[in-house]
Amino acid sequence: MRAVRAVCARHGKPLFLDACRFAENAWFIKLREPGYEGTPIVEIVREMFSYADGCTMSAKKDGMANIGGFFCSNDDAVARRTSAAALGAAPPVGSGRGRMAASG
Ligand SMILES: Cc1ncc(COP(=O)(O)O)c(C=O)c1O
């Protein structure tokens, strides 16, 4: 993920994660990536998301909900445009740095 972030930065492109299965992927990192065996899952997850400008998530994955999903962006303008396009102009929720559009 670090390498992908570096490529995106080099080309001035944002990086959006498909956050489905983030918990399992964090667990696989803990099991398989040298240097992460003693790192708490929550720290691995924080590092994973620190490389991203936002994410999409089918929220029924990872036991969060039984239906619905969301899109998140650290860029309010991107969140507003995406929310309007995807949700028929419903306003994004959240405030400050980063917004979220949700459906379900
Ligand atoms: C990594 C990942 N992304 C996206 C999806 C698509 O989710 P949905 O079928 O809820 O749209 C899945 C489904 O299993 C998935 O595992």
C-alpha 24 chain-centroid distance = 14
Query: Of all protein residues, whose CA lies closest to atom 2 belonging to ligand 1?
Result: 20
pLDDT at 91: 53
Per-residue pLDDT of the chain (104 residues; tens, 9 = 90+): 999 999 999 999 999 999 999 999 999 999 999 999 999 999 999 999 999 999 999 888 877 788 888 889 999 998 888 877 776 655 555 554 555 566 55
C-alpha 35 chain-centroid distance = 23
Tell me the fold of 2-103: Aspartate Aminotransferase; domain 2 (3.40.640)
**C-alpha closest to that of 39 among 30, 52, 31:** 30
How many angstroms does the Cα of residue 21 sit away from the middle of ligand 1? 8
**What is the 3-state composition of the chain as percent helix, strand, coil, each rounded to the nearest 5?**
45, 20, 40
- C-alpha angle 36-39-41 in degrees, rounded to nearest 5: 105
Distance CA 62, CA 27 (A): 12
pLDDT at 102: 62
Helices (H), the chain: 2-10, 22-32, 41-50, 76-87
Query: Of all protein residues, whose CA lies closest to atom 9 belonging to ligand 1?
Result: 58
